[in-house]
Amino acid sequence: MCEDKTIIAPIELNFLLFVNKIYNKTWYSNINCENFYDHFEDRLELLWNKRVDSLITDRTYVLNDSLIKEDINELINNEKAAETVVKEFTNLWGSLPPHGYGSLIERICGGLRIEQIKQIVGTDTINIMITFDSIPSKYKRENPKYKLKILPYMDFLKYV
């Protein structure tokens, strides 16, 4: 029996990774540390787990601007800085390269043969979420009950 696999690059998770990269100064931005709330990393981990759980239970993979705004308001204490981060992410995700990073990731990973995908995630995983960067080790990366794995797109590049 062959089960269908769902492969998505959820904007909610990728947005949180993007904010984390700005906070850790591994992505160029004019936003500085005092614009982030105290206990940023704990807040981000809670949001990450909340978004993963929501994606699993709701099975809704549609861009929801209100979630982005909700998350940024939990992480950044300055409205102008928050708007800048959202704008920078929107530019990355929707415009660079020509059709956006999100589209590029889904095209690369969605074009693989099922045998290649099984080599990456195993035979038991049917729900795959792809991120544009590596995932910090303390963040939720899988849920065996829902046959879910969250992986950076780099794991898929060996087959492209």
Question: Percentage of residues in the chain with pLDDT exceeding 90?
Answer: 36
138 within a domain of the structure (yes/no):
yes
56 within a domain of the structure (yes/no):
yes
The residues near 79 (Cβ < 8 Å, ≥ 6 apart) are none
1 within a domain of the structure (yes/no):
no
Mean pLDDT of 63-91: 91
139 within a domain of the structure (yes/no):
yes
**Residue predicted with more confidence, 147 or 59:** 147
99 within a domain of the structure (yes/no):
yes
**Residue predicted with more confidence, 15 or 93:** 15
Of 139, 146, 130, whose CA–CA distance to 61 is shortest?
A: 130
Spatial distance between the Cα atoms of 92 and 62, rounded to a whole number of angstroms: 18
Domain total of the chain:
1
**Residue predicted with more confidence, 106 or 142:** 142
In which band, very low, low, confident or very high, does the pLDDT at 1 lie, cut at 50, 70 and 90? very low
pTM: 0.86
Full residue range of the structural domain in which residue 98 is found? 6-159
**Encoding tokens for residue 118?**
């099984």
Spatial distance between the Cα atoms of 11 and 92, rounded to a whole number of angstroms: 11
pLDDT tens, 15-69?
Answer: 999 999 999 999 888 999 899 999 999 999 999 999 999 888 877 666 667 889 9
149 within a domain of the structure (yes/no):
yes
Q: Rounded mean pLDDT of the chain?
A: 85
